[in-house]
Structure 1
Amino acid sequence: MRQLSLVVTCTDRKMSMPCSTLRARSLPTGSTEHRAQVWQARLNEASGLIPLSSLYQGEHWVQARQLAGAAALAGFAPQMWVASAGLGLQPITASAPAYAATFSPRHADSVGESTADSVRWWNYLQVGRGNSTLEDLGRRGAVLLSLSEVYGNALRNDLSALGALGAEAVLIGGSADIPGLLRVPARATLRSALGGTLTSLNVRMAASWLRHCTDGRLTSTTTARSWERWAATADKAERYDRTSLSDEAVKDFIRRHVQLHPDYSRTRLHRLMRDAGLACEQKRFAMLYAETMEER
């Protein structure tokens, strides 16, 4: 069986709450390099390591873990890797403490204020902690990546190196086309056919791509055409008539429902809001949720 590296992103939700020093918001001001060095020193001193396969939680991670099964059914020998703003590129078999670090802008635990900051942070993190590079994975076999837009931006140098290698690689999502990589942009119009929320859309699209990989080649014309034919029939625009809320109204909703449902995750609270006919974009809700919980 041919080796296939599956690269997915980490999740905000963790098995346990991180300590204050392992939240990016606690890092000192200064250059990105200095902040990355401080962060790595804290990780090195941390205890309570948890296997990555168990550390991450939520719908996105449930779907990510199922990718290996889809890859095996397509005739590959899969190996899963996690791209993390806190850890760099790591195999799912690695362990780490609970932490909070993200490339998402305006988030309390964002590692930088701009895309350029994110690129620099990732490069420093990879040098200090990364277990491997995308280019290394491309030399070993095929690579299937499921990345959000912010991760596509942060990893753009690594993605360019993978593309230049001429490896058999597919990027689901990301932020822009990369020379040498077959990219399938995220398509919200497939959410109805694939199920779940937009949080797990890219991973579900990756699993769908593997189901159409019937000739054992990740980037073959046969695979691409089969998937595109399916996508053309599955496309369905979704229309919502929800009421928009101010930031303070969203935070008030979060405060009230955290008291009513203390065991609800952020994702579940967001779904509860949407089901109530109220509008708040996912990234904005995540930012306001983090601010609300910090205020508490």
Structure 2
Amino acid sequence: MHQKPAIITICSAGKRVRQTALIADAIGKGPQATVAAQWRTTLENAATAKRADHLYRGRAFSVARELAKATGADFRVLSAGLGYVTAPTIIPTYDLTVRPSGPGSVVARIEGSFDPVGWWQDIQKGPFATNFVDDAKGRKLILLCLSRAYAEMVVSDLLQIAKANPTALRIFGLSIASALPQALQPFVMPYDERLETVGPAGTRVDFPQRALSDFVNHVLPTSLDLAAQRRGVEQRLVGARPKPSRPPQRRVDDAAVKDLILALAPAVGWRNSDMLAHLRHVAGVSCEQRRFATLFRAVKAEVCP
């Protein structure tokens, strides 16, 4: 039984170890159970790299980690590759995602349909995972940052946690309630796009962690009651207007992205993050971060050898 609160966030693609030792793309294709078994064997033979709370990079992950430190909460990570991981666990560096395609996609290795709940149950049998439901027992507060993809995987665990501990769970995510069954929706803190006006600004990717930050700093100190906290969030958002939405971004092929990088470099410079931000928010081009990084490095190597 745990008395301390827990702050839980999803893992990030960025790692603080440059060389990725375990890559989902190296797994043979097959039925989901076979792919999961191959991945668990890979994990069992893996060399470890860093503590879980030190391995992952990115603003979203850092916000959640620092909030755990500031509040004295236990810090936990939901990982599609490792399962439910405690902060002190020494884990390997790896590349596995449940996106339908792209680098590290385990879904692309599976023949037939992908079962998110089944994948989570299989990965929870791996050597670095802790039982999510058991770890939640006895906690007075469980603050969970969640994306839709992870909601699909951990929904069974969340239902068990909510039933056993009906006052502890708080869930943060953009439009996440629609991805959860009715029994879990009361635990979703009702943050929406108006957070951009009243709270810290950011992106859709780090929305759950920014909502958590706003909650910890402005709502949690006023009450521990779930209904009162939901009202507190709603009061925070009353009168706030969401920022004007940006026009939809267009998708272009790799050659067009490289041409844009070359054209923009004299004005924007050769800093990766500046170029990506300009590409997305000024040029209106959609480009996934890892794809962009690969193309950016290629162009820079040609121009600045």
TM-score norm. by structure 1 comes to 0.81
Task: Note the 1:46-195 alignment, pairs <5 A.
Answer: 46-69=46-69, 72=71, 77-112=72-107, 116-129=114-127, 130-134=129-133, 136-167=135-166, 168-173=168-173, 174=176, 175-180=179-184, 182-184=187-189, 187-192=192-197, 193-195=199-201
AA paired with 1:232? V
Q: Distance in 1 between matches of 2:262 and 2:160?
A: 48
Secondary structure of the residue aligned to 1:17 is coil
**Once superposed, what is the RMSD of the aligned Cα atoms?**
3.3
AA paired with 1:278? G
AA paired with 2:52? L
Q: Distance in 1 between matches of 2:195 and 2:113?
A: 28
Can you list the C-alpha shifts for 1:123-167, whole angstroms capped at 9, x where unaligned? 101123321213531433321110111111111211222222243
Residue identity (%): 20
Gaps of 5+ in 2: 300-305
**Stretch deviating more after TM superposition (134-143 or 199-208):** 134-143
In the TM superposition, residue 33 of structure 1 has moved relative to its aligned partner by 1.9
In the TM superposition, residue 24 of structure 1 has moved relative to its aligned partner by 1.0
In the TM superposition, residue 107 of structure 1 has moved relative to its aligned partner by 2.7
Question: Which position in structure 2 is the counterpart of 1:264?
Answer: 272
Question: Which position in structure 1 is the counterpart of 2:206?
Answer: 200
Q: Distance in 1 between matches of 2:47 and 2:58?
A: 23
AA paired with 2:288? F
Q: Distance in 1 between matches of 2:183 and 2:60?
A: 28
In the TM superposition, residue 249 of structure 1 has moved relative to its aligned partner by 5.4
Change (3 A) 1:293 1:150: farther
Rg larger in structure: 2
Secondary structure of the residue aligned to 1:222 is helix
Secondary structure of the residue aligned to 1:83 is strand
Q: Distance in 1 between matches of 2:96 and 2:298?
A: 18
